Amino acid sequence: MIQAKPKALTFDEFLKVYPEDGRYELVDGKIVRILATRQHEDVADYIQDLLKEEVKHQNLNYKVSNRIVLATLTQTGVEMGRNPDVSVISRNQWRSNRSAYTALREPIQLEVEVVSTNWEDDYDDKFDEYQRLGINEYWIVDYLALGSRSYLGNPKEPAIFVHVLDEDLKYHRTRFQGDERIASLTFPNLDFTINKILESEG
């Protein structure tokens, strides 16, 4: 007996059946649970708390969250549902429809992904999808130096990559390592380095 192949879910169908017991993404039509190590969660929480404090300190018109799900498209037009480690959205955009769920199809200000062992997702797939959607700024935080040497250098060293959309809607990538203070479009006054993360983990 030949079993029928499960039907690929659309983004809207994914939202309707989204489980309530954790974080999930829609990947190639399937629901995939995000399972992160405690260290990964600690780093993501550290960044989220830092950005929330910066929003408050600078009186910026942003909301910082780890619960936003974004509809993205691959190069081949496959609909995905991404749940970044940290999202930053303008309060005006957030409050434009207060009764809506925390799922969006339009670009927001900033996404942060903390790199895990499946580092290609962040460096390649999500890079392309966030650029295609038009996310203004995208950070890759590779605190364990898991990415390839083509990104991290040789020898590989932990880094934060900040990507900012240019006038052609393509990401311009800048790598920050050690005590190099990142240059952020969204948080220009932020004093943030990869070493601060490593020190917080020490």
- Helices (H), ranges, the chain: 11-16, 38-58, 91-95, 119-120, 126-133, 149-152, 194-200
What is the signed CA dihedral for 11, 94, 82, 21, rounded to 10 degrees?
-90
Domain total in the chain: 1
pTM: 0.93
Residue 6 maps to a domain: no
**Residue 8 belongs to some domain of the structure:** no
| Residue 63 within any structural domain of the chain | yes
Residue 185 covered by a domain = yes
In a domain, 182, yes or no: yes
The verdict on residue 7 lying in a domain is no
In tens digits, the chain (202 residues) has pLDDT values of: 455 566 889 999 998 888 888 889 999 999 999 988 999 999 999 999 999 999 999 999 999 999 999 999 999 999 999 999 999 999 999 998 776 777 899 999 999 999 998 899 999 999 999 999 999 999 999 999 999 999 999 999 999 999 999 999 999 999 999 999 999 999 999 999 999 999 987 6
What residue type is assigned to position 19 of the chain? P
Domain membership flag for residue 25: no
92 vs 40: CA distance, rounded Å: 30
Task: Note down the domain range covering 147.
Answer: 36-200
pLDDT for the residue 5: 60
Token representation of residue 77:
């037009």
Q: Is residue 65 part of a domain?
A: yes
Give the CATH number of the domain where residue 103 resides: 3.90.1570.10
